[in-house]
Structure 1
Amino acid sequence: MPKWRNSKKKQSGSVVNRETSPGGDGVHLRLQLLGEVRFSVGSADVTPRSKRARALVAYLALSRGYTATRARLADLFWGDRGEAQARGSLRQCLLEVRSAAGDTGVEILSSDRESVSLGAGWTSDIAEIEAAMAGPCASIADAIETAGREQLLGGLFVSDEYDEWLTLARADFDARLADAARRGLARAIETGDAESARRIADHYLLRDPGDEEVTVLAMRADAMRGAAPIAHRRFQKLRDYLAAELGTAPGPAALDALAAVASTPVAEPVAPTAPTLPVLPTHDGPPLLLVCPFVETGFASNLMHLADGVREEVLSGLSRFKDLRVLVEDRMPSSDEATMFGAGTIAYALTATLRQSGTHMRVTPVLTRLSDRSVVWSNPVSIEVSDLQEAIDAMVDRIIGAVTPRVERDAVPRAQPSAVYDRYLVARHRARTATTLHEGKAAADLLEGVIADAPELAVAYPHLIRLYNTNYFYKIAGIDPAPNRVRAFELAKTALSLDRGHIHGYTVMGWCQLWRGGWDAARAHFEKAVELNPYHSERIKEAAFGLIFLGEHAKGGDYLQRCLDLDPLPNDNFFEDLGFLKLMQRKPEEAVAYFDLIVEPTLFADLYGVLASCAVGHPAGPTMAAAWRRRIAAIWSPDVPMTDANMVSWLHTHLPFRKPEHWSLFSSYLGPVLRDAHPEAA
């Protein structure tokens, strides 16, 4: 968060008003005027329900002196009514605004017989942005980044006269933002502040890609920092935008800037007296995935533009993943251009080629690491096109299901442990790869540290929850997990409150509910996770395993089949879950076949494999059972006797069967691994 956003200095005037906003020490009311209009007092939402009430407060916040006459407001909002009716409507509107504050103790409005004003002690995002625009280059960059692409008072058209005022207010704000961008870029070029120049250019041109003057300054700044390819790209984007939207071409200034860039050595800055460029900060956020154009070849005329349709569906599916930042690109960027997305950003590009050959379609997706153009993943597949929609669904499922896990595996070794998000990536990796109790607890401590430093980082919570729910991924046995599960449940509630769209929060909450005996709540959370993202094979697998414990074997099996459709090369956990399902369906022969596919069995996968093998009378069953008893003994807590009763009780705490008959069935398999049945193992 930019430093100025928490400043307690008085802010400058907002869009229409040029005086000083009354925001300052003791501010209680905050107005959000960019995008959706919202009002808050601390964490309390005090936004009135009606559009007119919101628009009236916003109008006052953007007016000279933050006040207006009653006659002006009546004409502005109810000019199509008689004077008496308009004033009556105004009174009702003022009452609604005052009522919205509830018992917060804040007076949003003050009024007398002639005029209405905003109450004392408030601030707004617009006032803060304008204060920042009056500051140094870095502050201007913060302001433009915060403004983003949002419109002033989005969606608040309420009357013809108000709409005319709002159109002018938006134009005024946009003009001031553009002026700040130009002024900031010119100053940054003059002082050699390459990082501020980059930020101003990148964020402002997202808002207005057709601003030729800003583009020219941005190209000069790119040349200054030796980034000629990025300057070329800016020119191309300007040219394409002007041609598509206005039917024009870049003017002489842009052509001159392009010529200057072309004549400038890439490795050297334009200005030889410019100071040494600062080291750009490591980007703190999820890996970036650029979805570039998909190309089709050899298609019949009735299938033209199929690649664009597939790409749109892939984009829609990838947008559901919270561990990726997905951007649409009109071409594959070069390696030199990777830095424009932020120094330290872990970036990838996804492309695909679709070819038709008879009744088949061959799809070749390619996932490329942008920094060095290395191919991270490519898996060509041939699909029957007799049912076109089914073929498209199969393509989309395969691409979406494969991309995220490949990015995840590739990104972790490239993370920089200094940034909070990268610390999260490292901690998550250590949690998954821990081999001892010490390593498991160390991973938990790392995740606790990440959450302490960035409590809003919802993606970090589920991995810590899973550690606590499972005795650090079963690195110690025999102890009661209940105390850790209390902490896990509280973390799960926090995770969901932070992000209702993060499906990992739903799956871990589903498991928390399983262990608490909240069967209906568990099912609801698992189903919600799959509804939110039907492309995330790992999360669907977690939901499938949970449904098996709820006794819903058919649905759990359907979910596991969905996982296989998404990723034809599943990991060991998939075969563990599928084998366990077959075991609980009284099909140990099929279970054995799946457990035999596991390369590195977990403690429980090892157990299930032993039970299935013994159930079918496999000759190696007794030897496998003895090996598992040694494995569990190696991690059994020295504070608890390793008796049959304690072992069965511990297993019960980690296998939350809803139906007693399913626990009875599982218990019936346990004989081969119990110590009393094999006294030689004692």
Structure 2
Amino acid sequence: METSRGEPIALANRRANMVLAVLCLEPGNRIDREALARLLWPDRFIPQAKGSLRQCLLDLKRKLSEHGIDCLVISRSEIALVPKSLQSDLMALETALSSADPESAIDRLLAIGNRPLVQGPSLNPEFDEWITMRREHVDARVRAALSEAIRISSKAARERLLEAARARFPSFRTFNRIPDQATIAVLPFPQIDSVGGNFFLADGIVDELSTRLAGIQGIALAGRTSVAAVTEKNQTLTEIASDLNVSHLIEGEVRRDEHGIEVRIALISGQSGTEVWSDTLTGTIEDFFESRKMIGANVIAAICRALGLTASPAPSRRMTRDREAYALYLQARAMIQKIGVEGAFAKGIAFLEQALEIDPEFAECWTALANAQIMTAAITPSLERVAQSTQAARCAERALALDPGQGHAFSILGIHEWTQFNPARGLEMAFEAYARDPNDADVCSRLGSCLLYLGKAREALPYIEAAVDRDPVYGRNYAMLTSAYLSVGKIDEALGAGQRMADLGTPAIWLALAQFVAGDKETAVETHFGVRSFMGSIFMRPPGVPPMDDAARDAYFAFAAQGIYSGKETDRAVYCQMLDGLHSSMPDPYDSTIAFPAIAMGHSELTMKIYSGCIHPSNMFILMSLWIDHDPINRTIRHPSFMDFAERIGMVEAWDRFGWPDLIPVDPRTA
């Protein structure tokens, strides 16, 4: 640290050095004195530790005063920095990033390099663990600022800034639409087998091709969910490419007979349907079970040459060597893609658990199991959603222990952190997932959704648009896109995204919301009433509630549609009263069927009661609509108790670290 005249300030007290450094890491935060004393002197009784901290702070304050620096705010319970009283290289970097000064940001990034934040000798295991977490928080905050700076910079500055970012974060990736980027869909390979038996080689080759291509810079890969949906329609290749919005397709087939195996793979132009490149591979089952090496060395390199790209090193994968475990994993993946098919998730989970019994070190299978569990909690009726999220997190942690490159596992951990009222950590995990696996459509959408839940729609929008580009036939992505457009005031775009969601056969809940915001209340009422036909199928029934007969269902949806969208305060008040009753009587009082109308009608007290009581993977998705600046939706964020509510559920901590939401640019309590 230096004075304003450039004179070095030497602090002989190691702990005083650490205290000042930690304050500079997060200058807007206050540190609890007792907690800090326990961390710095864990082997002392708390009165002794507090006395030692008191002396440490006196020494620090005296040393700083010798240089004319008065930067500490010390109370009986907390320690903080006087705002803007000190300058550090980290503060200067964040200032450059937030002020759209890419040249200064590049210089400061390169100067910092990959040095750890807060350098110094180890004090004790408790403090070391705590400071490691602080470093992770700050690095995540810097990555978020870098992503936004890169997004808004000119092309030339963007490339230099990205290169500088990788000096600190070697795996740093950010979504950037490149006009000549290759967009590819890997289609399912048919399997022609005259031998018979439990044989899933075609699925395995498609899986390996998809994973390898997703790791190559310059290629955007269509999501598996959309590919599966489109290929069921019996369309031509050019029609498939058009629906998936891709420039190229990869197709092929697998043949097996008593003499061996033959695999044909071809790269097809999406515009013309003509073959750009093809190859045929032959060998034994043993050759193809080890086909990852063959595909990496030959097929991927050839596809990249045909596209004019340079193949990057193959991603590290901790796959299984057991054929039965791999076959079960592939069957499970196919089942889990069948969203809306009753029992599909349960069967998929059973297959994955069987695979892990055979090979407990199969990292990608642990990630797939974590994803299946979190999806079960999100989109199927359950009274154990937080418990399911906890189990998903344990599986994700196991995957990462085996293979730290499992980016998708980080995104699942991020979802779970929201259920623990820790959205700051959730956003860190989402950014970490994206840094490792930016071409995964689910990773991209989960980062966008996490930003959207926190009211940062402008920052979220590029990631959500990227998720839609990569998985264009997945209705949930269009729900997020509709909500994001509404949050930034792009009403026409929101209507288009909502209509696309409806066209895909997904319940048009967010289309009705967009129509209401656009002022077309009558149509919004009709659209919401039409959602009733999905009840109990794609649109889940509240858990623990018996099925309604058609007459009761129609009556309820008519009543709800009027309450949410008629614009009549009397209709709204009566439906709000009904929701209060449902909240007190339903088996899951936090279900999304209560949370969504509470937010849409600006029923502030109920909204805050729901999310203060329980956040789970189903109602979490509804939080994105909280930030639409339209009456009565915006009554909740304008409620006098909203900031206290946001503090309770961890949002304020996230905003302090990653920037405040679009509609609340600064903390109104201190402004």
Given the two structures, how large is their TM-score scaled by the length of structure 1? 0.38
Q: Greater relative contact order: 1 or 2 (C-alpha under 8 angstroms, separation 6 or more)?
A: 2
Q: Which has the larger radius of gyration?
A: 1
Given the two structures, how large is their TM-score scaled by the length of structure 2? 0.38
